[in-house]
Amino acid sequence: MTTTPNPLTRGFVSLVGAGPGDPDLLTVKGYRVIQAADVVVYDRLVSTEILALAKPNAELIYVGKKLDFHCVPQDQINQILVDKALAGKKVIRLKGGDSFIFGRGGEELETLAENNINFEVVPGITAAAGATAYAGIPLTHRDHAQSVQFITGHVQKDGREIEWSALAQSNNTLVFYMGLKQSGHITTQLIEHGLDANTPCAIIENGTRREQRVFQGELHTLPQMANEAQSPALIVVGSVTQLHNKLKWFE
């Protein structure tokens, strides 16, 4: 059951996933919530078509991030949400993809909870699901992959490293978010931990958007492929990427 804000007390925050790029992939609930918002706090990858759904007098606040540059630090984003909600506003925190998959949605909700602000979560189609579907690459397939893992490409941030040996399995599909800059490190670690250097892989640039491009190669060529691609992009490693040529439909 959806929680309803009480206009007599304080505001309410809806954490909304806008999907991977194609505005038609916004959920019906996301559409309704955006139209009712007083304030829309949005990220870089939210399309202009989705922002246009906001009512004319809604306040739009851009807090987008890109690699190595955050125009508004995360703690300030958290404070904006708190301040607008305490002012009695209906606030939308609008993020590309899904807010709970590498979107820092949990961090922002923790701040709201600490300030006793009511909120709801409206899931979105995450980039891995949307971009691979538009590229004709099934994340799982009985003949190729029995599991799939989503991994952040920021693999060395704060000195934290991931379990590469657990990823280097031939029947697994790996999807790296934000991994272009770290493509060399990803390649080296996977090969050193046992994944065949000839494992098929792909990079999906601007997934689900009109300008989508798909690069195909093998794991040992991933750094060269990454040099040709631009952000936003996903790296997909696994034999399922070979199905792109047969199943591509969006191009």
pLDDT at position 232 is: 93
Angular region, 106: left φ>0, alpha ψ -120 to 50, beta rest: alpha
The per-residue pLDDT for range 174-212, each reduced to its tens digit, is: 999 999 999 999 999 999 999 999 999 999 999 999 999
Q: Would you tell me how many other CB atoms lie within 10 Å of the CB of residue 27? A: 16
Whether 22 is a known active-site residue: answer no
Burial class of residue 68, CB neighbours in 10 A (0-12, 13-18, 19+): exposed
- Distance (Å, rounded) from C-alpha 123 to C-alpha 158? 28
Write down all domains in the chain, each with its CATH number in brackets: 12-125 (3.40.1010.10), 128-247 (3.30.950.10)
Q: Which one of the listed residues 22, 24, 55, 65 is annotated catalytic?
A: 65
Average pLDDT over residues 147-160: 76
pLDDT for the residue 206: 96
Provide the pLDDT for residue 216.
98
pTM of the complete model: 0.90
pLDDT exceeds cutoff 70 at 1: no
User: For 125-139, what is each residue's pLDDT tens digit?
Assistant: 999 999 999 999 999
Q: Which residue has the tokens 């691979």?
A: 132
Max CA separation in the chain (angstroms): 62
Residue in 22, 43, 84, 89 annotated catalytic: 43
Mean of per-residue pLDDT scores for the chain: 92
pLDDT for 66? 63
65 catalytic residue (yes or no): yes
pLDDT of 4 higher than 60? no
